[in-house]
């Protein structure tokens, strides 16, 4: 406990699943949390309050630059600083290039890729004022290999992977660490339908070298490490939480 004492963390996509797990864990570890999402955040805030944590919520479309400016302003107004950003919000539309609509492709990249860019763009100036910070960008194994996800999803997650390294290079001298996490198949609302489908479930289950799939807590624990001072010498790294998928 206390690994994030006196830190302030913005976590996007915190209304459920992976983001809610990250927000709850960060609050338990002492962070003042700003949980954002387009969906209701009542359950996340109730969980944090019941655990004795500190959090506020902001309705937030990560693809909107105006919304990002609002989130940053409300965070600074409430807590006075920003130490941590977890760009977690993301959507998945499973498709192939020849059958995908451009509208769907843009919808995915607007949220996943543009949302990550805008988050860093608006938060980094505040981190500079504090003398540093930690950014954790949630990518995917789909940002490294092409067999998981869809055309827009793979493109956006690959962009997050390289954008993370670019930011790590640009802002290391400002003591801002930027790392990416690459989950494999994680049991979450995003994969619930795929895991319930008899056609897709076997392939997903076989993606892990371990006799089980990942849980949202596995990703949250990885994000906690990268956001904490324990990772003070880690930047520009990509951490796979994938049950060995990329090793196979």
Q: Of 75, 68, 90, which is closest to residue 14 (Cα–Cα)?
A: 90
Closest CA to 154 of 105, 190, 194: 105
**How many C-beta neighbours within 10 Å does residue 175 have?**
15
Of the candidates 153, 171, 212, 225, the residue annotated as catalytic is 153
The dihedral through the CA atoms of 97, 98, 104, 105 has a sign that is: positive
Q: Is position 171 annotated as part of the catalytic site?
A: no
User: Residues with Cβ < 8 Å from 31, sequence gap 6 or more?
Assistant: 4, 5, 7, 8, 9, 53, 54, 83, 84
- Assign residue 243 a region (left: φ > 0; alpha: ψ between -120 and 50; beta: otherwise): left
Contacts of 48 (CB under 8 A, 6+ apart): 23, 24, 27, 33, 35, 54, 55
β-partners of residue 182 are 240
Q: Mind giving me the DSSP string for 83-124?
A: -EEEE---------TTT--HHHHHHHHIIIIIHHHHHHHHHH
- Pair 121, 171: CB distance under 8 Å: no
Q: Which two tokens stand for residue 229?
A: 């001072």
Enzyme catalytic residues:
153
């Amino acid at each position: 406990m206390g690994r994030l004492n006196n830190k302030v963390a913005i976590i996007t996509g915190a209304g459920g699943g992976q983001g809610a797990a990250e927000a709850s864990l960060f609050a338990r570890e002492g962070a003042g949390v700003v949980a954002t999402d387009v969906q209701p955040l009542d359950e996340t805030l109730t969980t944090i309050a019941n655990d004795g944590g500190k959090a506020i919520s902001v309705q937030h479309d990560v693809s909107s630059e105006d919304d990002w400016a609002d989130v940053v302003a409300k965070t600074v107004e409430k807590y006075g600083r920003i130490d941590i950003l977890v760009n977690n919000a993301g959507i998945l539309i499973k498709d192939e290039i020849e059958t995908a609509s451009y509208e769907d492709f843009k919808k995915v990249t607007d949220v996943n890729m543009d949302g990550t860019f805008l988050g860093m763009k608006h938060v980094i100036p505040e981190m500079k004022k504090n003398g540093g910070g930690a950014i954790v960008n949630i990518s995917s194994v789909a940002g490294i290999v092409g067999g998981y996800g869809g055309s827009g999803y793979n493109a956006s997650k690959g962009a997050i992977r390289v954008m993370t390294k670019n930011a790590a290079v640009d802002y290391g001298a400002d003591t801002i660490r930027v790392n990416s996490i690459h989950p494999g198949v994680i049991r979450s609302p995003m994969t619930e339908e795929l895991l319930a489908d008899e056609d897709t479930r076997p392939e997903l289950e076989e993606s892990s070298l371990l006799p089980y799939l990942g849980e949202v807590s596995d990703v949250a624990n990885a994000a906690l490490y990268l956001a904490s001072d324990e990772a003070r010498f880690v930047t520009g790294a990509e951490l796979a939480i994938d049950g060995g998928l990329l090793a196979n």
